[in-house]
């Protein structure tokens, strides 16, 4: 197990290095016009000086190695265009916690509401709770998120008595964004948990559990839920980390100073160091999510043992 | 037979509603189960063997229901007889399931929850039905594991189902059933999914446990070899009815119903070479439509005219042996059983 984990982490690092190198090289292929605001009026000498300042005239391998050297020292570089001469890490330091906080709350809410909802829907299949739940899920899945986000903002802000301008330190202002972000995930967890539980409840071990005299609720909770949760568990870390990365739409709707949409902005602005920094963050999040997902599966399902090779029984 | 009855079924009807049509799965079965016996129910797929026994535990699918008749359970020590067909509420079934009647399913590979150790799964049954604390329950669980022949129970307790072979898993399933401390044990094709050498071991185990825990066993199977091995009495089921019932000897050496003859004829015979194995022509009747007369008549080349008109009642051959066929009526012409059956009768080919 530990050996597997070590290997897996080493491989994750390799993945990160490949991603960063690839992105780094791709960025260097972009036209140089983007680096300067008044490119048309500049002389070739000025352009050369400008590029040299940014270290773009060196051969590509040298640039890559310099980038990784800096990275190892924890230096993500300095933003040039997005916010002139501010270290990338400082910019992210302000933005990431806001998005993380939003993500954590919304994830907690989706799990706390979505899972019990799915379980109860499976328990009372075809009864009124299931029907209402299905209606909710269908609505959330079918109506474009942008539509109900707007309605939530429109009526929610009135109901809560909050202004449109986001106040980061007032918990009241967090309610609506968190709620908006959770709805989709609640529907997702509810739908899939119900589905997996209904699947499981037709299996033989459930019949045996019933035949040994366990109550229906007991069977649901002690046997079916656990088995149904396994396939779902794999996605939870990734989903969680995706939420943490931030939602462009919700953050802009409530003018939350998070990092949603930041990547697009800095790519547009040709701010290479910022792009690198954010890509690094996203890649870490992605790789970590997959790793955690697999580990969670191992914890939940004794049949999966990661240490062994395929066919090694 | 002056044994004590533990279950008495009379004229039981079970129906299923399927897409607006009614399927008459069990057509008026009467059957007694005596204390301590092993009663085998044989019949082909779809004859209603499983449905019949599931109805004793309230485990019919949602669209199935008892439409008449009665099933009285009289094995409870501390309470009055229970009319099983009148039990409706889930809460009342919980007093029957496991506690009085336990069940073993066909496929041990899927009968256990893959995520829990087998120890925990057996202990669940102990805790549900025996009023003991946690540590005592564990002690008893270890004992049950020993009883079903699992070596090194301390270590096995903490293992998961996937670490067991098929035969071992079936032993665990049996341990779960025993741990409920039931009076009746229903074994629904307990050996079908196992290979032949393991089958024999499991059957021996069931025989042994029957004595040890004073169980009455209903064994559902379509394997006559299994029946001959273990059963005290045999009920032959066809199209939702028991067409012949008797002791093991009655059925194998003195079968009277044409369907039983056909079943016996389709057994592979030792020392017979070059002839095709007998198979019963036709298919079982459609249970959506009402069956007139003897359900087996359309597949029976020697059927009498009355077989197509009127359903035969039980005719008693001996106090232990009765069959539903007009052939036993005094007015019936003499019809000889097929050669294989006569051979078994005379020489005992089994």
Same domain, B102 and B189: yes
8 Å CB contact of A227 and B113: yes
Q: Are residues B145 and B209 in the same domain?
A: yes
Verify that B90 and B42 share a domain, yes or no: yes
Domain shared by B291 and B248, yes or no? yes
**Vertex A37, ends A33 and A39: CA angle to 5°?**
45
Q: Examine the domain organization and report whether B20 and B60 are in the same domain.
A: yes
* Cα B344 from Cα B335, distance rounded (Å): 17
Partner residue opposite B111 with nearest CB, options A208, A215, A230 = A208
- The SS3 of residue A140 is helix
User: Cβ of B98 and A205 within 8 Å?
Assistant: no
Helix (H, G, I), strand (E, B), or coil: what is residue B322?
Answer: strand
What pLDDT shows up at residue A310? 46
- Which residue from B305, B199, B242 is spatially nearest to B40, judged by alpha carbons? B242
Which of B231, B265, B299 is where one domain is finished? B231
Do B268 and B208 lie in one domain? The reply is: no
DSSP β-bridge partners for residue B17 = B22
Q: Coil, strand or helix: which one is A86?
A: strand
Among B106, B108, B111, the strongest candidate for a mutation testing the A interface, having the largest count of A CBs within 10 A, is B111
Question: What pTM was computed for the model?
Answer: 0.82
Beta carbons within 8 Å of A245's beta carbon, 6+ residues apart = A99, A103, A259, A260, A282, A285
At B12-34, the pLDDT tens digits run 999 999 888 999 999 999 999 99
- Within a 13 Å sphere around the CA of A109, how many CA atoms are in the beta-carbon half? 20
- Under an 8 Å CB criterion, which residues of B touch A? 57, 59, 90, 94, 96-99, 102-103, 105, 107, 110-116, 124-125, 128-129, 160, 162, 173, 176-177, 179-180
A66 touches chain B (CB under 8 A): no
- Judge if B273 and B336 occupy the same domain: yes
Q: Which residue of A has its CA nearest to B115?
A: A301
Q: Categorize the per-residue pLDDT at A312 as very low, low, confident or very high, splitting at 50, 70 and 90.
A: very low
What the block records as the tokens of A231 is 């396939």
Mean pLDDT of A253-264: 82
CATH number 1.10.3720.10 is the correct assignment for the domain at A92-266? yes
User: Are the beta carbons of A157 and A172 closer than 8 angstroms?
Assistant: no
Please report the number of interchain residue pairs, chain A to chain B, with beta-carbon separation below 8 angstroms. Answer: 75
B199 and B123 together in one domain: yes
User: Domain end: B179, B201, B231, which one?
Assistant: B231
Mapped onto helix, strand or coil, the DSSP state of residue A214 is coil
Range B185-211 burial, b when 16+ CB lie within 10 A, else e:
bbbbbbbebbeeebbeebbebbeebbe
d(CA A139, CA B209): 56
Number of domains in chain B: 2
Task: Write down which residue in B201, B231, B261 finishes a domain.
Answer: B231
Coil, helix or strand at residue B246: strand
Low-confidence winner among B14-28, B269-283, B289-303 (lowest mean pLDDT): B269-283
pLDDT tens track for A195-231: 999 999 989 999 999 988 898 888 998 899 999 998 8
Which of B258, B110, B98 shows the shortest CA–CA distance to B184?
Answer: B98
Q: In 3-state terms, what secondary structure has residue A10?
A: helix
Asked if B242 contacts B314 with a C-beta cutoff of 8 angstroms, the reply is no
The DSSP code sequence of B126-189 is HHHHS---HHHHHHHHHHHHHHTT-SSHHHHHT--GGGS-HHHHHHHHHHHHHHT--SEEEEES
pLDDT computed for residue A307 by the predictor = 63
What are A261-294's pLDDT values in tens digits? 788 888 888 888 888 888 888 888 888 888 888 8
pLDDT tens digit sequence for B113-153? 999 999 999 999 999 999 899 999 999 999 999 999 999 99
Residues from chain B contacting residue A214 (CB–CB below 8 Å): 98, 124, 128
Chain A neighbors of B129, CB-CB under 8 A: 213
Count of C-beta atoms within a 10 Å radius of residue A30: 13
Domain residue limits at B323 = 238-347
What is the CA A292 to chain-centroid distance, rounded? 13
Question: Which of A203, A212, A230 minimises the CB distance to B110?
Answer: A203
Calculated CA dihedral for residues B288, B290, B293, B294, nearest 10 degrees: 20
Residues B15 and B162 in one domain: yes
How does pLDDT run across A147-190, given as a tens digit for each residue?
888 888 888 888 888 777 788 888 888 889 999 989 999 999 99
Residue B154, domain CATH? 3.40.50.300
Q: What is the DSSP letter of B97?
A: B
Helix-helix angle A88-123:A236-245, to 10 degrees? 140
* Short-list B343, B190, B179, CA closest to B264: B343
């Amino acid at each position: 197990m530990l050996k597997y984990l070590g290997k897996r982490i080493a491989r994750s690092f390799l993945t990160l290095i490949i991603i960063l190198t690839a992105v780094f090289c791709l960025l260097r292929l972009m036209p140089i016009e983007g680096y300067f605001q008044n490119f048309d009026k500049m002389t070739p000498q000025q352009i050369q000086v400008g590029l040299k300042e940014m270290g773009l005239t060196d051969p590509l391998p040298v640039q890559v190695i310099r980038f990784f050297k800096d990275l190892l020292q924890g230096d993500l570089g300095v933003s040039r265009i997005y916010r002139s001469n501010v270290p990338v890490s400082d910019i992210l330091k302000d933005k990431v916690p806001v998005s993380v906080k939003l993500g954590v709350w919304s994830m907690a809410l989706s799990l706390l509401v979505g899972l019990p909802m799915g379980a109860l829907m499976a328990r009372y299949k075809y009864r009124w709770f299931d029907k209402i739940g299905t209606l909710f899920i269908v609505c959330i899945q079918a109506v474009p998120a942008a539509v109900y986000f707007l309605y939530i903002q429109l009526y929610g802000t009135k109901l809560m008595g909050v202004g449109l301008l986001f106040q980061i330190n007032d918990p009241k202002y967090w309610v609506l964004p968190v709620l908006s972000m959770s709805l989709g995930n609640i529907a997702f967890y509810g739908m899939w948990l119900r589905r997996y539980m209904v699947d499981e409840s037709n299996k033989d071990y459930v019949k045996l559990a019933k035949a040994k005299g366990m109550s229906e609720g007991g069977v649901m909770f002690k046997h079916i839920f656990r088995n149904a949760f396994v396939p779902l568990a794999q996605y939870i870390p990734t989903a969680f980390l995706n939420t943490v990365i931030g939602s462009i739409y919700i953050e802009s709707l409530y003018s939350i100073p998070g990092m949603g949409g930041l990547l697009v902005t800095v790519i547009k602005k040709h701010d290479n160091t910022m792009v690198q920094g954010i890509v690094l963050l996203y890649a870490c999040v992605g790789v970590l999510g997959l790793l955690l997902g697999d580990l969670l599966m191992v914890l939940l399902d004794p049949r999966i043992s990661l240490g062994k090779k395929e066919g090694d029984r | 037979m002056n044994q004590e009855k533990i279950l008495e079924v009379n004229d039981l009807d079970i129906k299923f509603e399927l897409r607006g049509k009614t399927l008459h799965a069990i057509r008026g079965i009467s059957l007694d189960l005596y204390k301590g016996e092993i009663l085998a129910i044989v019949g082909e797929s779809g004859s209603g063997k499983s449905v019949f026994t599931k109805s004793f535990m309230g485990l019919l699918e949602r669209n199935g229901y008892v439409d008449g008749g009665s099933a009285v359970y009289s094995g409870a020590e501390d309470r009055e007889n229970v009319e099983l067909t009148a039990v409706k509420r889930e809460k009342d079934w919980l007093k029957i399931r496991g506690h009085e009647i336990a069940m073993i399913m066909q496929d041990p590979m899927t009968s256990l929850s893959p995520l829990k150790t087998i120890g925990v799964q057996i202990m669940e049954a102990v805790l549900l039905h025996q009023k003991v604390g946690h540590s005592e329950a564990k002690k008893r669980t270890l004992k049950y594991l020993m009883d079903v022949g699992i070596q090194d129970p301390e270590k096995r307790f903490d293992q998961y189902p996937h670490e067991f072979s098929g035969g071992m898993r079936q032993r665990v399933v049996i341990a779960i059933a025993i741990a409920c401390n039931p009076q009746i044990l229903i074994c629904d094709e307990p050996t079908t999914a196992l290979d032949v050498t393991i089958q024999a071991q499991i059957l021996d185990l069931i025989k042994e446990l029957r004595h040890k825990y004073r169980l009455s066993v209903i064994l559902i199977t379509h394997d006559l070899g299994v029946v001959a091995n273990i059963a005290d009495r045999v009920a032959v089921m066809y199209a939702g009815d028991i067409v012949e019932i008797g002791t093991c000897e009655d059925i194998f050496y003195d079968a009277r119903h044409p369907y039983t003859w056909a079943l016996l004829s389709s057994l592979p015979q030792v020392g017979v070479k070059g002839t095709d194995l007998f198979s019963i022509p036709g298919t079982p009747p459609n249970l959506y439509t009402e069956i007139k007369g003897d359900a087996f008549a359309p597949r029976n080349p020697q059927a009498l005219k009355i077989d197509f008109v009127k359903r035969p009642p039980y005719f008693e051959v001996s106090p232990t042996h009765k069959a539903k066929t007009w052939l036993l009526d005094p007015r019936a012409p003499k019809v000889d059983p097929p050669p294989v059956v006569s051979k078994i009768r005379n020489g005992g080919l089994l």
